[in-house]
Amino acid sequence: MLKVEGLTRRYGDQTVVDDLSFSVNEGEFVALLGPSGCGKSTSLKMIAGLETPDAGSIELEGKDITDLTPGQRKLAMVFQSYALFPHLKVVDNILFGLQARKVAKDEQQRRLDSVVELVGLQDHLQKKPGQLSGGQCQRVALARAVVAEARLCLMDEPLSNLDAKLRNEMRTEIRSLQQRLGMSVIYVTHDQVEAMSMADRIVLMNDGKIEQIDVPEGLYNKPKTVFTAQFIGNPAMNIIHSDNQCLGIRPEHIEIVEEGRPARVISCDYHGADTIVLAEIGEQGGTTEIIKIRYPGHAMFAAQQSISVHWKLEYEHRF
């Protein structure tokens, strides 16, 4: 449905997006994931037409839209800051785009009725944004995007202003809404949990370039680089350096056993369902490595206590 080819953006002598190429299929939820400053929001703005690329092309349903204005692209967008008009009621905020495009009144009403029920705003239509909570404002922004009935919806970190509990609820709502409507979505986030739980495929970016494109379980179970291995998963994958290569092992795959590789406990961080044990492996006085172990339940290991660790060869990753 969408094909991005060789997209590049420079500011002066700094390249913020470098040769970005990926595609989005009909009805697919694709996440652009990466740390702050990796170029994901700039990429989204180029697709929306809010930034002009220095090189590359953007095709939507086979049509080159690289040089079209944002309005001509007929895309919907949900911004990080909601971008609602404070002086307009919720109903007018939702319908603003349709009114600007002079869509017929009865068609506006039909779309409004269907979308308001989807996002649960029936009782808030006559309120202004200042009377709503953060979650409700985000629902208004979502409703405004959905009511446009655009083939592709762009979302730029729409949940980053919400608290953790509300973020979890809105994640479920957005994914469910997208699946019911069959919308194609590009979703920008720096939160790996959002990307892993919502996306069909993830485009992982690092320093303006694509690090890896894969389904969530592919990124987790078969990372191709050390960056991917350590960015996906919490706690991050342990990287142990030996013989001119890096060995990766996830904290949940390391067991504390009676006999195994000697280690020394540094600290324990209790999380409720499990405890993250920070330990040091290697010879005292020689080369040592710090590793994290996900231990089920409540661990009562003392600092500097000697333990033994073990992991199966099948869980090792080589870089």
Per residue in 22-61, pLDDT (tens digit) is: 999 999 999 999 999 999 999 999 999 999 999 999 999 9
Q: pLDDT at residue 279 above 90?
A: yes
Closest by CA position to 296, among listed 272, 265, 268, 263: 272
Number of domains observed in the structure of the chain: 2
How do beta strands 288-296 and 274-282 pair? antiparallel
194 with 61, same domain: the answer is: yes
- Residue 113 forms part of a structural domain: yes
Residue 80 scores a pLDDT above 90:
no
pLDDT reading at 191 higher than 90: yes
User: Residue 61: its pLDDT value, please?
Assistant: 92
pLDDT at 248: 95
Q: Are 89 and 128 in contact (CB under 8 A)?
A: yes
CATH code of residue 305: 2.40.50.140
Q: In this model, does residue 161 exceed pLDDT 80?
A: no
Considering the domain boundaries, does residue 91 fall inside one? yes
Do residue 146 and residue 253 come from a single domain?
A: no
pLDDT tops 90 at residue 155: yes
Same domain, 189 and 280: no
What span, in angstroms and rounded, lies between the C-alpha atoms of 138 and 159? 8
Inter-residue contact 143 to 116 (CB < 8 Å):
yes
Provide Rg for the chain, Cα atoms: 24
Residues 201 and 284 in one domain: no
229 within domain boundaries? no
> Within a domain: residue 234?
no
| Maximum mean pLDDT: which of 52-56, 95-99, 176-180 | 52-56
The answer to whether residue 232 scores a pLDDT higher than 90 is yes
Q: Which residue has the higher pLDDT, 200 or 161?
A: 200
Work out the number of other CB atoms within 10 angstroms of the CB of residue 260: 14
Helix residue spans in 6-154 (DSSP H)? 40-48, 70-73, 90-100, 105-119, 134-147
Last residue of a domain, one of 166, 189, 221: 221
Summarize the confidence of residues 114-137 as an average pLDDT: 87
Domain boundaries, position 140: 2-221
- Same-domain status, 138 and 210: yes
Clarify whether residues 15 and 122 are in a common domain. Answer: yes
Look at residue 286 and tell me whether its pLDDT is greater than 90. Answer: no
Q: Are residues 29 and 124 in the same domain?
A: yes
pLDDT band for position 162 (50/70/90)? confident
Measured CA to CA, the distance from residue 242 to residue 239 in angstroms comes to: 10
Same domain, 257 and 213: no
Q: Could you give the CA distance from residue 64 to residue 5 in angstroms, rounded to a whole number?
A: 11
**Average pLDDT estimate for 119-131:** 89
Last residue in a domain, options 187, 221, 255: 221
Q: Do 205 and 253 belong to one domain?
A: no
Model pLDDT, residue 283: 66
| DSSP H helical ranges for the chain | 40-48, 70-73, 90-100, 105-119, 134-147, 164-181, 192-198, 216-221, 226-231
For all residues of the chain together, what is the average pLDDT?
91
